Amino acid sequence: MKGTTHLLFSYGTLQLEKVQIENYGRTLKGERDRLIGYKTEKIQITDTTVLAKSQLEHHPIAVKSAHESDFIEGMLFEITNTELAETDNYEVSEYHRILETFESGKKAWVYVGKNMTL
């Protein structure tokens, strides 16, 4: 990949090959990792473009947990600047992107719920 690359943590539909191909035009390579101190909840998706890509009405959404023992398993994918912008467009408004440190010690972008805590 040319240019700047980023690490992106996916714990939901961006792990699906169909969604990757429709969003990025390729399948992503990644490795498993964990986001410590978070849990997932479900949100209903109403955006027709996102629904068409994922074919799932409910998506998981990461929320900060009160318990450090909580974690979310997912994949760390390497993506380009353009793909990061495409991911911003794919994620609906209930999500926002933050930089977090993962169990591996790597820093990556992750989409979490806006103002949501358990």
Give the start-to-end residue ranges of the domains of the chain. 1-72
- 9 pLDDT tier (thresholds 50, 70, 90): very high
What are the residues whose beta carbons fall under 8 Å from the beta carbon of 116, sequence distance 6 or more?
A: 41, 61, 63, 64
Q: Please give the single-letter amino acid code of residue 35.
A: L
Token pair for 8: 């992106």
Q: Measuring CA to CA, which residue among 21, 14, 26, 23 is closest to residue 60?
A: 14
* pLDDT reading at 56 higher than 80: no
Query: Using an 8 Å Cβ cutoff, are 98 and 35 in contact?
Result: no
If phi > 0 it is left, if psi is from -120 to 50 it is alpha, else beta; for residue 86 that is alpha
| Rounded Cα–Cα distance for residues 3 and 81 (Å) | 8
* pLDDT reading at 3 higher than 70: no
pTM summary value: 0.84
* pLDDT reading at 11 higher than 90: yes
Model pLDDT, residue 116:
53
| Rounded Cα–Cα distance for residues 95 and 83 (Å) | 17
